[in-house]
Structure 1
Amino acid sequence: MHDDTTRSLSFSALRRRGFLAATGVGALALAGCGGSGSGSDDGAGDGAPKKGGRLRAAFAGGGASETLDPHLANLFADAARAKALFDKLADYGADLSAVPRLAAKWESNTALDRWQVTLREAAFHDGRPVTAKDVLYSYRRIADPKQAFRAKASLEPIDLDASRATGERSVEFVLKRPTAEFPNILAAFGAYIVPDGATEFDKAPVGSGPFRFVSFAPGRSAVFRRYDDHWEGAPHLDEIEFLVANEESARVNALLGGQIEYAHELNPTTARAHEDQGQIEIVRLRGSAMQAFCMKTDRPPFDDPRVRQAFFLIADRQELVDGALSGAGEVGNDLFGKGYQYYADGLPQREQNLGKARALLKQAGAEDLRVTLDTSAVAAGFTEAAGIFRDQAKKAGVTVEVRMGSKDSYWSDILDQGTLCCYRSGAMPIEAHISQRLLTDSSTNATRWRHKDFDAQYQQAQSTRDPAERAAVYERMQRRLYAEGGFLIWGFADWIIGTGRQVKGVETDAPANTLDWARFDKVWLA
């Protein structure tokens, strides 16, 4: 995705690297020859989970440079493999609130700058218990300034020098400032717990996840076997095999041909063609990707809030969802995180109002406005959205010139250049969206939204113990963004997965990036 290349799991990075390392069905045919027998049925009746079998899942991959180091996970394929082999202290639920994993519980002091985390009884694949020592080693490894590990920025609020083990299964985290949303840090993408001293992950990695390592061929396949002693219970499957197919057509054809049972990332057109046809199942993960236009608020014409408000009113959101997403999504309301914890859902749904948009532009002295909209084929729907919005703006007297950018440099370029661009993001907590993108010192502040009083509101929220009072602060912040922010958030896209009809137990209610996405330990073959 990629405004935040070091923060949240990247939808667009997945696509970008997929184009660079395309593989076809042949790779699947060679690597996926293990078969997918359903195994013996120990269920009590129809619909009961069955034990056994190997599920073959195809993802876009990263080529020969792929690694099983969970702290280097970047693509969806990386994240799915890491989730199978390793655990985090927490993960995100369907509403993007943190839920416990290896952490049995957490509690803070009154000042919210010290948090005590108690670990559940869990063991690594070699039988060693997961301890506080492993947690501190993992976090200090991630925070190493010489490394570029994905979760490093998320761990920044923790003073890891001062943090310490207070028992074999308890850790006191000392924070640099009050952090009411500290559990979000524990759930951060890539913040996996590895054994103390572990440095090698591609030959025989040891984790505490529901599957244990069998084999790994970078850019081709990885095979993991059920870990019977996992703290949450053994998976239903005997084995999971991850295969690489960067072209969507290869994944679909392999699924239709029975070479795989799970195809990640299908486009809406493919989904419509196969939905309810009987051959495969289509799973839609709602609200997985924010779709937006990003207006830079520190330069003309968007340094005038009246121009930003006019652009909010130019957008016909339903037309954008129907045209750019082929209807596979829902309209947005210029706020991130629809359906997530703290989302300000009481604000009226913004509708197109070209007359009011024209009046605002006139007030701003921008009646004959011309603006360049940067886009790229780097992400699905970007070029279509740009063309649709260009035509919508024309009706308000605004000339939008669409400029195509390079897929390889788009995400780095848009952070510094231009005034208006296509933008999207995967799921993350609303608090993380604010802290990573909307504070004066945020490293991925693509809208250049920099207001000291807004920063102070965020710190107020982080210093507020009572959840209802904290939610009220977040609502005030969102009301301001709704009125004058730089993100024109027009939609939320579905993330689409295809499975064989024999695959059961795939979660449908949670966005990608959350705990229940790619939960192969909960899946079975009927």
Structure 2
Amino acid sequence: MHDERLPGLRRRGFLTATGAASLGTLALTGCGGSGSEGPDAKGDGTPKRGGRLRAAFAGGGASETLDPHLANLFADAARAKALYDKLADYGADLSAQPRLAEKWEANKTLDRWQVTLRKATFHDGEPVTAADVLYSYRRIADPQQAFRAKASLEPIDLDASRATGQRSIEFVLKRPTAEFPNVLAAFGAYIVPENASDFDKKPIGSGPFRFVAFTPGRSAVFRRYDDYWEGAPHLDELEFVVANEESARVNALLGGQVEYAHELDPTTARAHEGKGQVEIVRLRNSAMQAFCMKTDRAPFDDKRVREAFFLIADRKELIDGALSGAGVIGNDLFGRGYEYYADGLPQRAQDLDRARSLLKQAGAENLKVTLDTSAVAAGFTEAASIFRDQAKKAGITIDVKMGSKDSYWADILDNGTLCCYRSGAMPIEAHIAQRLLTGSTTNATKWQHKDFDALYEQAQSTRDKTERAAVYERMQRRLYAEGGFLIWGFADWIIGTAGTVKGVEAKAPANTLDWARFDKVWLT
């Protein structure tokens, strides 16, 4: 199954993981109270050191692992971020930011990149070296394994790549890749010690917290790593607990059993926001919301029909009705606010008269189409019903078909003609590479144009960033005019915290560097 909240995911767990213990069955240990004395840290005040923060996430049951290369769930990613580091990670605008890599530099042809590591140590005191990086990447790329970041590392010729010093690596690429730092920041591309293999009993990373205990499907406890290269965390300890149902996470937060609850529904947030019991943190632009039209088959093989559907959508009504207002309207392009986003295009608005005219030109005045949806993601069924009613005003009959939560993402990848769709944060370049090229493995709109592929290759071969941005804008203008993604909104990702929790970053979309950044959080 393919969960588009994180690109490439083929597990159900992100949405409704079953089989794990509910929060009510956990024996929660520790105390979330303040630690050492110090000035009270309100708002942007001085952080306090000490205490254990307990964070509730949906989990993956007894099969959970701390192997960072197998991370798929949000819980996996948050635990991996606490224990390990990557060479780079995504900033709030989805540009790659240096992490274990202190700097990187390309040759003139963009097919060789020299990466210099910063001085950092693993939890056993050993330095992070080029050998560790090459081991980690070769492990991820093992054809016998199903590691998440394998596809992202595909541009690297790992046989030819080599260490040029203890803290320097020459990456040899299979083709020019201007956005190679995005590869270093890829989800799951964590660095582990050379020859590491025991990840659940005694994992060793270079992240801000070190391992204490782990019970799959129940909890994980980590302790502050004082020698972390970016500075020791404020917290003494961090505990991840499993609560698969949103109601369990909310009740645990309200009852003082946890101080941080991940992934709340918009209705829950609205009910508690400003009431004083909990703090609501909204991570803006975290989830693209869309309808996906397959451009290789009737009726959407006619670009006039696709344009008509763009004009049928009342985006504000979809935001208000399907997301309870927790989001902003989209403009049929991925990545609003991200690096390279074409924000100069006019905002689309509903125009039913123009939509009817286009449908008439295409001979589709009385069009009937099936819209696949599922309860696999919040707002999907509501969005389908709202759009069905909007389309009726343009003379289109939409039959809403409910699909299985277990197989929805796999089912809609190749089947049907119209479906509900969403995606988590990733660079615009990665969105294009994974979903919009002729050979893309998750090309749900079946957008396949050789001239479009050629523009992507041109962008990746263009060293000057301004010139590269101009190529990406050309590609986005083409998608805006005749693409298959009707992107109607961008949803907030919602987190709840106790009032004692400070330092949670509200500007970073989910899956970026400052999401789940527990080394920067403190308790008052």
Aligned partner of 2:462 among 448, 461, 464 = 464
Q: Partner of 1:80: helix, strand, or coil?
A: helix
TM-score by length of 2: 0.98
**Contact 1:309–1:484 (CA<8 Å) still a contact in 2?**
yes
Q: Partner of 1:55: helix, strand, or coil?
A: strand
In 1: Cα distance, 2:240 partner to 2:163 partner:
36
In 2: Cα distance, 1:388 partner to 1:278 partner:
33
Q: 1:27: how far off?
A: 2.7
Aligned partner of 1:475 among 473, 485, 495 = 473
Partner of 1:35: 31
Q: Per-residue displacement from partner, 1:102-125 (whole Å, max 9, x unpaired)?
A: 000000000000000000000000
Partner of 2:14: 14
Q: Per-residue displacement from partner, 1:377-433 (whole Å, max 9, x unpaired)?
A: 000000000000000000000000000000001000101110000000000000000
Q: 1:24: how far off?
A: 3.1
Paired residue type of 2:33:
G
Partner of 2:306: 308
Q: Per-residue displacement from partner, 1:267-307 (whole Å, max 9, x unpaired)?
A: 00000010000011000000000000000000000000000
Q: 1:22: how far off?
A: 5.7
Partner of 1:243: 241
Q: 1:5: how far off?
A: 8.8
Aligned length: 522
2:359 maps to 1:370? no
Q: Partner of 1:166: helix, strand, or coil?
A: strand
In 1: Cα distance, 2:377 partner to 2:304 partner:
29
Paired residue type of 2:48:
K
Q: 1:353: how far off?
A: 0.3
Partner of 1:234: 232
Q: Per-residue displacement from partner, 1:124-179 (whole Å, max 9, x unpaired)?
A: 00000000000000000000000000000000000000000000000000000000
Matches within 5 A, 1:79-118: 79-118=77-116
Q: 1:42: how far off?
A: 4.0
Q: Partner of 1:335: helix, strand, or coil?
A: coil
In 2: Cα distance, 1:294 partner to 1:163 partner:
39
Matches within 5 A, 1:201-212: 201-212=199-210
Matches within 5 A, 1:255-404: 255-404=253-402
**Superposition CA RMSD, Å:** 1.4
Q: Per-residue displacement from partner, 1:340-374 (whole Å, max 9, x unpaired)?
A: 00000000000000000000000000011000000
- What's the % identity of the aligned pairs? 81
Aligned partner of 1:438 among 436, 439, 443 = 436
**Contact 1:89–1:103 (CA<8 Å) still a contact in 2?**
yes
Matches within 5 A, 1:191-210: 191-210=189-208
Q: Per-residue displacement from partner, 1:74-120 (whole Å, max 9, x unpaired)?
A: 00000000000000000000000000000000000000000000000
**Contact 1:12–1:379 (CA<8 Å) still a contact in 2?**
no
Aligned partner of 1:77 among 59, 75, 78 = 75
Unpaired runs of 5+ residues, structure 2, are none
In 2: Cα distance, 1:164 partner to 1:390 partner:
55
| Distance 1:512-1:376 versus aligned 2 partners, 3 A rule | same
In 1: Cα distance, 2:459 partner to 2:453 partner:
10
Partner of 1:55: 53
**Contact 1:56–1:243 (CA<8 Å) still a contact in 2?**
yes
In 2: Cα distance, 1:321 partner to 1:11 partner:
27
Q: Partner of 1:488: helix, strand, or coil?
A: strand
Q: 1:43: how far off?
A: 4.7
TM-score by length of 1: 0.97
Unpaired runs of 5+ residues, structure 1, are none
Paired residue type of 1:232:
E
**Contact 2:287–2:492 (CA<8 Å) still a contact in 1?**
yes
In 1: Cα distance, 2:174 partner to 2:488 partner:
36
| Distance 1:192-1:45 versus aligned 2 partners, 3 A rule | closer
| Distance 1:44-1:313 versus aligned 2 partners, 3 A rule | closer
**Contact 1:294–1:421 (CA<8 Å) still a contact in 2?**
yes
| Distance 1:263-1:3 versus aligned 2 partners, 3 A rule | closer
In 2: Cα distance, 1:263 partner to 1:23 partner:
16
Aligned partner of 1:171 among 169, 176, 180 = 169
**Contact 1:8–1:428 (CA<8 Å) still a contact in 2?**
no
Q: 1:35: how far off?
A: 1.4
Partner of 1:490: 488
